[in-house]
Amino acid sequence: MAIGKIRFGVAVVAIAAAAGAYFVLRYQPGLVRAVAAPGGPAMQAMPVPVAAVVKRTVPIYLDYAARTESIRNVVLQAKITGYMGLQSLADGSDVKEGDLIYQIDQRDYQVALDSAKAQVDRDAASLEYLRSNLSRGNELARNGYLARDSFEQRTSSVRQGEAQLSMSRTAVRGAELNLSYTEIRAPFPGRLGRNQAPAGTLISAAGTPLNTLVQLSPIYVTFNPSEADLVEIQKARGNGKIETEVRVPSEAQARHRGELTFIDNSVDRSTGTIVARATIENGDLSLLPGQYVNIRVLVGQRPDTLLVPQVAIGSNQLGKFVYVIEEDGKVGIRLVELGPADGDLVSVTRGIRETDRIISGNLQKIFPGMPVAPLPAQPAAAPAA
C-alpha cells in the first residue's frame, strides 16, 4: 500500500509539473492534495462540470444468467388411423386454443357414424313394436287370455330392446368421437414447429408425430442462485412476492417483467446452487424457449443511499476515486467504495458526503490541488426503470 501511495504521489507531481506549475505533494488518509510551492506562478482556474450527490432509496438486485423454458411443450399426434388430408395452418404459425391445425381423411369415420345412426333407428323401431306388444299383453293378461309366462317373455323382450337401443346410441357417440379425432386442434395457445406429416401420409393411432406446439406466453425463466444468495431470496420471499426483470443480452434495457414462482427443494452438492424459476409475461412473444437471457431479482431496498454519476468515477493504484471541489475552489480527491449501479448513477458506500460537489468531466485534465471553476450543476439522473 505504501508503494502504491508513493507512485500515485509521483504521478500527481509529474502532472503538475507538466502543467507549468510548482506544487508540493501533501497526503492524508483518503485524501491527496497538491499545494503550490512558495513563489510559484498562479494557475488559471479550469472550468469543470459539477454534479451534486444524489440521496435516495435504491433497489437491491441479484443478477444471474438464465435460460427460458416453455411452460407447455407437446408433440401433436393423432388418436386414430387414416390418411392425412390437409394442414390448415402454416409451419411456425401462432395459434389460439381450439384452432384447427390438421384434418385426417374423414370418409371412413363418417360411414361408421352413419351406420351407427341407422342401427339406432332400427333398434328404436324394434323397441316400439315390443312395447306395443307388451301393452296388448297387459290387456290379455287381465282378462285371463294370456299365460303368465308369455307375458313375462314380452316384458323381457321390451327390456332387451331398451338395452339394445342404449348400446346403439352409445355406438353413435363413439363414432362421433372418432370422427372428431380426425381434426387435430390446438390444446392451448402457442406456436407451431415444422410439419412432419405432409398430405397423404398414413397416420397410425398415437404413433406418428405431426408437429410440435409450444406455449410462449407466459414463459419460464430458469436460473441458479448460490447458497449465499438463497438466504437473501428466502428472506425477501417471506416479505411478499419477488419481482424480476429479464433482459436479452443484445438489448440495453429490460423489457420483460415477472415474478419468482419456484425454488427447488434441494441444493446441488456438486455446484452449491439451487434451481429457481420466474414466470414472465411474454406478451410480444419475443422470447423463445431455450434462449439465453439475463435476469435481475429484486430482493430489497436500500434507503438513504448516496449516488454519483458513473462517469465521475476514476481509478488508480489505490482503487476507485472521485474528484470533488473543496471549499477553497481547488480539486480534492476522495477514495471511495462502490455499491450497485442504478441507471447512470452508482451508489457509494464509503468516501463521500452528501454535501460534496462531484466533478463529472475533464477528469484527464485536472489533478488534486488544481484551482477549478465549477459549471452549473447537472440535474440528477432519474432512477432506472
- Note the pLDDT of residue 23: 45
Angle, helices 148-180/107-143, rounded to nearest 10 degrees: 160
CATH of segment(s) 2-58+302-378: 2.40.420.20
- Note the pLDDT of residue 39: 52
Three-state SS at 65: strand
- CATH architecture of the domain with residue range 61-71+216-301: Beta Barrel (2.40)
Three-state SS at 165: helix
Query: Distance between CA 260 and CA 96 in Å, rounded?
Result: 27
Three-state SS at 354: coil
DSSP-derived secondary structure for 299-344: EEEEEEEEEEEGGG-EEETTEEEEEEE-TTSBEEEEE-EEEEEETT
Task: Quickly tell me which residue has 452549473 as its cell.
Answer: 376
- Note the pLDDT of residue 365: 87
CATH of segment(s) 106-181: 1.10.287
Amino acid at 175: A
Query: Distance between CA 215 and CA 189 in Å, rounded?
Result: 6
- Note the pLDDT of residue 141: 59
Query: How buried is residue 78: exposed, middle or buried, by Cβ count under 10 Å (0-12/13-18/19+)?
Result: buried
Three-state SS at 244: strand
108-161 per-position pLDDT tens digit? 999 999 999 999 999 999 888 887 776 665 665 565 556 665 656 777 888 888
Residues spanned by CATH 1.10.287 within the chain? 106-181
- Note the pLDDT of residue 233: 95
- Note the pLDDT of residue 28: 45
Residues spanned by CATH 2.40.30.170 within the chain? 61-71+216-301
DSSP-derived secondary structure for 262-284: EE-SS-BTTTTB--EEEEE--TT
pTM of the shown model: 0.69
Closest CA to 53 of 325, 363, 354, 334: 354
Residues spanned by CATH 2.40.420.20 within the chain? 2-58+302-378
Going from the C-alpha of 116 to that of each of 175, 194, 362, the distances in angstroms are 7, 37, 90
- Note the pLDDT of residue 41: 59
Q: Which residues of the chain have pLDDT under 70?
A: 1-43, 134-152, 376-385
- Note the pLDDT of residue 341: 81
